Structure 1
Amino acid sequence: MFKNYIKIAWRNIIRYKTNSVLNILGLAIGLVSVMLIALYIQNELSYDTQFDQAEQIYRVNMKGKMGDNSFYAGYTPPPAGDALVDQFPEIESATRIYQPDNTKLTYEGGARPKVFNESEILAVDPNFLEVLSYPLQRGDAATCLQEPNSIVITPQIAEKYFGDTDPLGKTLAYGDDKKPLQVTGVFEDLTQYPASVKFDVLMPMANFNDVTYFNWSWVWLNMATYVKLFPQASVNPKNLANLESRFPEMLKVQAAPAFERIGQPFDEFIEKGNYWELHLQPLSKIHLYSQGITSSITEQHDIKSLYILGVIALFIVILACVNFMNLSTVQSVKRSKEIGIRKVLGSQRKQLIKQFMTEVLCYTFFAAGLACITVVLILPVFNGLTGKDLHIQAFFNGNIILLLIGIIVFTALLAGMYPAFFLTSFNPIRALKGKAAKSTNSSFIRNGLVVFQFSIAITLIICTLVVFSQLRYTQQKDLGFEKEHILVINNTESLGNSEASFKEELTALTGVETASSSSGMLTRGEFGDFYTPKATADEPNIATDISLSSYLVDDVFIQTLDLEVKAGRGFDKRFNDSLSVILNETAAAQIGWKNPIGKQIRYPGGNMEYYTVVGVLKDFNLESLHTPIQPFALFAQASQSYDTRTSFISLKISGENTEIVISEVQNLWETYSESTPFEYSFLDEDLAYAYQEDQRLASLFTVFTILAIFVACLGLFGLIAFTAQQRTKEIGVRKVLGASIGSIVKLLAINFLKLVVLALILSVPVAWFAMDNWLQDFAYRIDIPIWAFFAAGALSLAIALLTVSFQAIKAAAVNPIKSLRTE
């Protein structure tokens, strides 16, 4: 019997070609969307799951508050790991990660030296690969990082420096002093192992003196620390909570000497309402559940983006199924006599239901096959949109295969149940007279499905417009500094004492207006530490502590970035500014100074120096608009109050003949530094990179919104075709009586446009709620624009009118004599 069902289904698919193509195309689009989004979500959810005993591994996060400033970061002080292992028997081991400033590697074993700046270098403890088991193709995880002069690299780095030769035992020189490091291990291709900590090169922590120097400090937060718990502690939430509850007592003892050393007795620090806390975050939660936790070492996304994409995929599948239902009701007009004859000849309703469900399964499997081929073809494009390296092999995962089979069956059932029961409900006598479909009372359901389809499509249109409006706002908002035509040269610390001469020669180049050096640069990170404002007789009630981010800068930094000095002055060569500081408005306000000029702050982290405030800057955004403006300061380079071991030179260029200017800058660089590659970027590009994830989300919104609209239009196309078939004789009579094609098109189209307007009304609150929640992730955001709703409504009406008009004109243009003969 089933074989017979298949044969009849195939005949009907061939017989009703147009209907079959539209059904298969709509279902295929839905399945393509689901497959692509499933690949993306599966990749995101698989982060950090490949490690041995991953459920026992946790990142140690630090949450702190000083005065009005608070933070939550994936960083810890250097001694935190050892202290946790020593104090708590539940913790088996700890390992640390440090991000060094210098990124230059040199290989001198070939015909000519190979020198590159590698952006993904990490320094780690010797047991790093025993805690986080990144797979090695060469070398021993237990020993490859034991010696200070060792280095472990990825296959990409091995090929880059050594070509096809065996990298083990080869020597790479690190940094400007060319410290020799021997290759002791080569990883597997890590692009196939989704992990929140990404790198190309690992080096032993012992190579970095600043880490060793700060081993006493509980306020120098530049390390990521991971701990591995014994199984009984990690699997039992009560045990884990009990473990965390004992951290404050440990900190009270361990951190007290460090706070005393910087002039901040720990007990007094806590009594002021401040806090200094350690928390454990499961390894599996780092990638998607780290909102509000700062870290430049880990790759962190937002779980909400997966929810959004998952909902979009579900909606598009439902749209495709609704489209199938509508097209099936169109086909019912043609097949009503077939159903009547089958019933008269004795076919039971359950047999007819099986027949129609078999047809639906055939449509679905054809659509699934087309979807698989489409996914293979467009996966490279999708990878470009998402920044992923997804492979079709991921589908050969048991869970993914079960998911796809489930989706196919779900789609078949959802798309087929209504048509099967609807078509088989026809009265055989009325069906043989061709009146069964006309007499059905299902117009409410069909209209409701159209409203549902367009509600989803319009919601996606509104969301897409709002997302792009926020991105445009981030690009156009006055950030408080000049971002256009600012060329940033990296790694200028490698020039050493020649940096000042290099900067001076840069200003002589045609097209270069100013050249400024600084220890940090916008979006690149900054130095942060605690400071103590000095109370004065006129303003005694001020904050006792403040946390400041800062740069060391020269006297033209403010001029180069066109920062606005609200009070006082900038740094000037005519003054000795070695003990001067310039604050931003937020810092001055948090301290509580009404007139900050001439006031002083003390830096406990240095030599207890007092710095006099000589200027106040108008607030500007150091990071993206996701982050609120924090207290910030500029210190003169002459102060030498701290050393970040990084330096940048920023050039304000005219904007004309940019390529020539870059070429001349590079030529000058190469006369000063033959061993360090010339690297540069433009400040506006650096800022755009900070919104890369938002841009990708916007692109995905756009793609899937277009697909949703297309599928919704297929459904509308099916319903207008159904209506036109039902009213064929009416159309013929009207034409005989003199009705124009335009009036008939209006007659057919007006009710459908009303449905689209209803869909618009229903979609507005849903889209408003969704976008209001999404915008909460931005510290500075737009108000949801009213024009987006009008634009979405106008666009959806135009698309619907175009879809309806095509079929309506086709029906109205039929010869009325032919129309009158239909019954």
Structure 2
Amino acid sequence: MFRTYLAAALRHLAYNRLYAAINIAGLALGFATVILIALYVRNELSFDSGLPGADHTYLAVARASGPRGEPIGFASTPPALAAQLLARSNIDAVARMAEDQGIVSHDGKPSRHVENFAYADPDIASVIPWPALYGVFDGALDAPDSAVITRKIALAYFGKENPIGETIEISPLSDPRGTHSLRIMAVLKDLPAETTWTAEILVSGRAAFSTFNYRPAWPCSTCIGGGNTHTYVRLRPGTNIESASLDLVPITKLHQRPDIRGMENPPVEPSMIIALCGVGGLVMLIAAINFITLFTARMTRRLVEVGVRKVAGARQGDLILQFVGENLLHITIGLIIGVAVVEQLIGPMNALLNRNIGFNWIRDIELIGLILLIWLVTGALAATYPALILSGFRPAQVLRTAPMVGRAGERGRQVVVVVQFALLITLMICSAVIYRQTGYAKDAGTRLNMDGVLIAWTCNPALRNEIVRIPGVEATTCSSWNALGQTEMANRKRQGPLALQADYVDYGFFELYGVKPLAGRLFDRTLPKDKGAWDNDPPTDDAAAYQLRHVILNAAAVKASGFPSPVAAIEKTVTVTEGNTRHSVQVIGVVPDFSVESVRQSVPAAAFGIMPYPMELMSIKLRPDRRRQTRSVIEAVWTRLGNQPKSIYSLKGYVAREFSDMQNLSAFVACCAGAALMVACLGLFGLSAVAAEQRTREIGIRKAMGAGRSDIVEWLVRRYMVPVVAANLLAWPIAYMLMGQWLSGFASHVDMELWIFAASSACALAIAWLTVCLHALIIAAGKPAKALRYE
């Protein structure tokens, strides 16, 4: 019996090659899309899960309120917090890490790019036990001059995997005191792509130049988010996280927490993960619906067979078994092709997403289970229902009325077209909005003119004077990084009047970045009071205090200070905080909110002032006609004056890298939407083919009565254009609600303009028109006599 069923299935497959190819291609594309999305989602959810003891290792997160009252989480906490936590009985170990950047060199050969490194407490191995390839990680950072590196760094600077005992030199960008020699004590395995850490070098926190010792005095015991110290905690086994009396976040969940500010690796948006899962489900659903629709639409070609077999004694169970087997054969072939497609696309997907996602479907138990689950679910949905419908007809009915049964479901097939293209248009609109928001985040969302701006991590007066004289340099200015990044130091116990965060800039800062005042004026070099004043002028030592007298507020500060408008704030007095001190200053101007850090977070209230001594960051504006040559000259001057290469990079490139994860993910979503488009087009092509086949004699009569080819094409196309147009009534409100909710997670975002909806609908309509028109032209070109002899 099995051989009979298999022979019948293969014979039917060969006889209906076009429809079988459409069904199998749609299923294969659906399977491939679902598997790729599942691999990516699993990768996103597996960050740091491979570390030993990751299930009870946490990051201490500080909580505060943002400028609009929204809850904010800060990954950075005061360095003194670690010592306080060690006294708690339910905590097994505590260690701090503080990431930094610097130039690394070995044997006098410095790197040409900046390396990420981190200061770490010697107990870091007790909290985060990275596997060591050479040496012992536990105790490797006890000495002040010790360091631990990854295999990647070992090969890059030493040319071998085991350089234990040798030395490297690090010049931190945040430390003006020069180069420090460190001895390699252990080599760790390379960091996986699925980790929240970016540092490939760990430096002992006991080093005199480390963040923990270089700035030991924390300016505010209740302030959070102002440094870069992360405090990691390992709880004792069996400890309930609620009983820890801390805001602790598991390290395995950090990558899914975009609400926590200050993480080294940009987190993923959970809404994007949900959206991807939804896209995968929709693609597979569309493919399954296509399969069911095409199979049931062609029932007229199988009803006579059903009737004859029932008259010959076949039971309904036998027919169900036969048709389920035939459908499962299609589904199995589609799954095999889909897996083959995934093997070909996994490499390009890794390149697109900058990941190292594996696809070992033979040994990966989870992946095998997923593939079997997809096969079973699709089989249950797409194979059983058509078999039940087809096997349920009575012999007398099907032998008498078989030619007319296929038209009864035409209205249902039009509903399917509406649903398919509603989903498709929704995906197209969502992809367009995500793409626009990504572009906005990289450029317009910063509200700064970053074109041709280089960033240098020093503002040494001698170096600046040299750079200003280079012909291709248009302007330079100095500032703190916080003035550009606009990250907030919040106060957990805010008392008394609002004290604004002080950010420091130099003359010409706002002009260089194209920031124009909303009210008042910008800083003027000819007005002495615009510059901060020393308590002792000239200052007697490095600890001399200074005080701002004039400040420029951003729009968030105007609102936070209670002024009704920017104009109302001019010449008023506000309170600013500098370290542990607060003092009153006069407002001379108001500028718009801006930040290069993230459109995901609201810009904090800030007061900009001019510091009376050089700052750590220099912005260099290049003339547009000779930027490449000018940058080379700047780097040569820098190396000549500093005796070592330093970090000079494009600010626009930095912002693009910060949002590369979002950009890559939006491209992946667009690719998945393209897969949905192809599946929908395959289904529409198949439905139009079925409709034309069922009306072959009608088309012949119309042509015999004088209808031309254009009339036939117009008639066939119109039948499927109406459902596609109607699909917009479903797609537009759904897309508007989905994207409205997604955009609400950003502090600054694009508008959902009408042209996006119209363009997506027009694109879907054009694709549907071309799909149906192609098949209609083939049908309309047939001879009437052949059509009249059909059936």
Q: Same fold (TM over 0.5)?
A: yes
1:121 aligns with 2:74: no
Report the counterpart of residue 632 of structure 2 in structure 1. 663
Two-structure CA RMSD over aligned residues (Å) = 2.9
- Number of matched residues? 756
1:214 aligns with 2:166: no
Report the counterpart of residue 82 of structure 1 in structure 2. 83
1:629 aligns with 2:635: no
State the alpha-carbon separation in 2 of the partners of residues 424 and 437 from structure 1.
17
Aligned pair partner of 2:236 in 230, 236, 260: 230
Q: 3-state DSSP class of the match of 1:660?
A: helix
Q: 3-state DSSP class of the match of 1:582?
A: strand
Identity of aligned residues (%): 26
Report the counterpart of residue 158 of structure 2 in structure 1. 162
State the alpha-carbon separation in 1 of the partners of residues 55 and 445 from structure 2.
45
State the alpha-carbon separation in 1 of the partners of residues 66 and 748 from structure 2.
24
Report the counterpart of residue 615 of structure 1 in structure 2. 588
Aligned pair partner of 2:452 in 454, 473, 485: 485
Report the counterpart of residue 537 of structure 2 in structure 1. none
Give CA deviations for 1:529-585 in whole Å, capped at 9, x if unaligned.
Answer: 77999xxxxxxxx9713241513x332323322333432541526626233342324
Counterparts of 1:321-340 in structure 2, within 5 Å, are 321-340=288-307
- TM-score (normalised: structure 1): 0.85
1:790 aligns with 2:758: yes
Cα 1:165/1:782, change in 2 over 3 Å: closer
Name whichever of 569-578 and 56-65 sits farther off. Answer: 569-578
Report the counterpart of residue 516 of structure 2 in structure 1. 564
Aligned letter for 1:77? Answer: P
Name whichever of 775-784 and 570-579 sits farther off. Answer: 570-579
Aligned pair partner of 1:512 in 470, 473, 478: 473
Q: Is the 8 A contact 2:222 2:493 kept in 1?
A: no
Give CA deviations for 1:412-451 in whole Å, capped at 9, x if unaligned.
Answer: 2222123222332344456556825636633343333222
Aligned letter for 1:667? Answer: A
State the alpha-carbon separation in 2 of the partners of residues 417 and 543 from structure 1.
70
Q: Is the 8 A contact 1:530 1:603 kept in 2?
A: no
Report the counterpart of residue 641 of structure 2 in structure 1. 672
Counterparts of 1:457-496 in structure 2, within 5 Å, are 457-474=424-441, 477=444, 480-489=447-456, 491-492=457-458
Cα 1:678/1:198, change in 2 over 3 Å: closer
Q: Is the 8 A contact 1:145 1:203 kept in 2?
A: yes
1:315 aligns with 2:276: no
State the alpha-carbon separation in 2 of the partners of residues 799 and 165 from structure 1.
55
Aligned letter for 1:195? Answer: T
State the alpha-carbon separation in 2 of the partners of residues 201 and 128 from structure 1.
13
Superposed displacement of residue 173, structure 1: 1.3
Superposed displacement of residue 303, structure 1: 1.4
Superposed displacement of residue 315, structure 1: 0.6
Superposed displacement of residue 792, structure 1: 2.3
Cα 1:694/1:715, change in 2 over 3 Å: same
State the alpha-carbon separation in 1 of the partners of residues 492 and 705 from structure 2.
90
Q: Is the 8 A contact 1:578 1:639 kept in 2?
A: no
Counterparts of 1:264-663 in structure 2, within 5 Å, are 279-288=247-256, 290-393=257-360, 396-429=363-396, 431=398, 435-436=402-403, 438=405, 441-474=408-441, 477=444, 480-489=447-456, 491-492=457-458, 499-520=460-481, 524=485, 528=489, 544-548=497-501, 550-551=503-504, 553-565=505-517, 566-570=519-523, 572=525, 575=528, 577-579=531-533, 580=548, 581-585=550-554, 586-592=556-562, 594-597=568-571, 599=573, 601=575, 603=577, 605=579, 608=581, 610=583, 612-613=585-586, 615-623=588-596, 624-638=598-612, 647-663=616-632
Report the counterpart of residue 56 of structure 1 in structure 2. 56
Give CA deviations for 1:80-126 in whole Å, capped at 9, x if unaligned.
Answer: 1221231x3222221111123x5121111xxx524354442111111
Report the counterpart of residue 104 of structure 1 in structure 2. 103
Report the counterpart of residue 197 of structure 1 in structure 2. 197
Cα 1:43/1:712, change in 2 over 3 Å: same
Aligned pair partner of 1:138 in 123, 128, 134: 134
Cα 1:2/1:127, change in 2 over 3 Å: farther
Give CA deviations for 1:255-284 in whole Å, capped at 9, x if unaligned.
Answer: xxxxxxxxxxxxxxxxxxxxxxx5122233
Superposed displacement of residue 477, structure 1: 4.1
Name whichever of 346-355 and 583-592 sits farther off. Answer: 583-592
Superposed displacement of residue 341, structure 1: 3.1
1:45 aligns with 2:52: no
State the alpha-carbon separation in 2 of the partners of residues 460 and 165 from structure 1.
48
Q: 3-state DSSP class of the match of 2:352?
A: helix
State the alpha-carbon separation in 2 of the partners of residues 57 and 359 from structure 1.
52
State the alpha-carbon separation in 1 of the partners of residues 387 and 403 from structure 2.
15
1:16 aligns with 2:16: yes
Give CA deviations for 1:220-277 in whole Å, capped at 9, x if unaligned.
Answer: 542211211223223xxxxx33442xxxxxxxxxxxxxxxxxxxxxxxxxxxxxxxxx
Aligned letter for 1:140? Answer: V
Superposed displacement of residue 295, structure 1: 1.6
Cα 1:721/1:544, change in 2 over 3 Å: same
Q: Is the 8 A contact 1:51 1:134 kept in 2?
A: yes
Aligned letter for 1:173? Answer: E
Q: Is the 8 A contact 1:482 1:562 kept in 2?
A: yes
State the alpha-carbon separation in 1 of the partners of residues 572 and 753 from structure 2.
45
Aligned pair partner of 2:772 in 804, 809, 818: 804
- TM-score (normalised: structure 2): 0.89
Aligned letter for 2:287? Answer: A
Superposed displacement of residue 67, structure 1: 8.6
Q: 3-state DSSP class of the match of 1:232?
A: coil
State the alpha-carbon separation in 2 of the partners of residues 184 and 695 from structure 1.
39
Give CA deviations for 1:168-196 in whole Å, capped at 9, x if unaligned.
Answer: 2111112263322111111223226x222
Q: Is the 8 A contact 2:103 2:110 kept in 1?
A: no
Superposed displacement of residue 775, structure 1: 0.8
State the alpha-carbon separation in 1 of the partners of residues 388 and 50 from structure 2.
47
Superposed displacement of residue 764, structure 1: 1.8
Q: 3-state DSSP class of the match of 1:182?
A: strand
Superposed displacement of residue 474, structure 1: 4.6
Superposed displacement of residue 48, structure 1: 2.3
Q: Is the 8 A contact 1:543 1:591 kept in 2?
A: no
State the alpha-carbon separation in 2 of the partners of residues 486 and 2 from structure 1.
73
Report the counterpart of residue 266 of structure 1 in structure 2. none
Cα 1:733/1:65, change in 2 over 3 Å: closer
Q: 3-state DSSP class of the match of 2:625?
A: coil
State the alpha-carbon separation in 2 of the partners of residues 475 and 165 from structure 1.
38
Report the counterpart of residue 270 of structure 1 in structure 2. none
Counterparts of 1:706-725 in structure 2, within 5 Å, are 706-725=674-693
Q: Is the 8 A contact 1:543 1:592 kept in 2?
A: no
State the alpha-carbon separation in 1 of the partners of residues 736 and 450 from structure 2.
32
Give CA deviations for 1:483-538 in whole Å, capped at 9, x if unaligned.
Answer: 2222223x336xxxxx21221121111121111222316665668477999xxxxx
State the alpha-carbon separation in 1 of the partners of residues 272 and 297 from structure 2.
38
* Unpaired runs of at least 5, structure 1: 235-239, 245-277, 494-498, 534-541, 641-645
Q: Is the 8 A contact 2:552 2:609 kept in 1?
A: no
Name whichever of 118-127 and 476-485 sits farther off. Answer: 476-485
Aligned letter for 1:89? Answer: S
Superposed displacement of residue 729, structure 1: 1.2
Q: Is the 8 A contact 2:454 2:648 kept in 1?
A: no
Counterparts of 1:752-771 in structure 2, within 5 Å, are 752-771=720-739
Superposed displacement of residue 411, structure 1: 1.5
Q: 3-state DSSP class of the match of 1:92?
A: strand
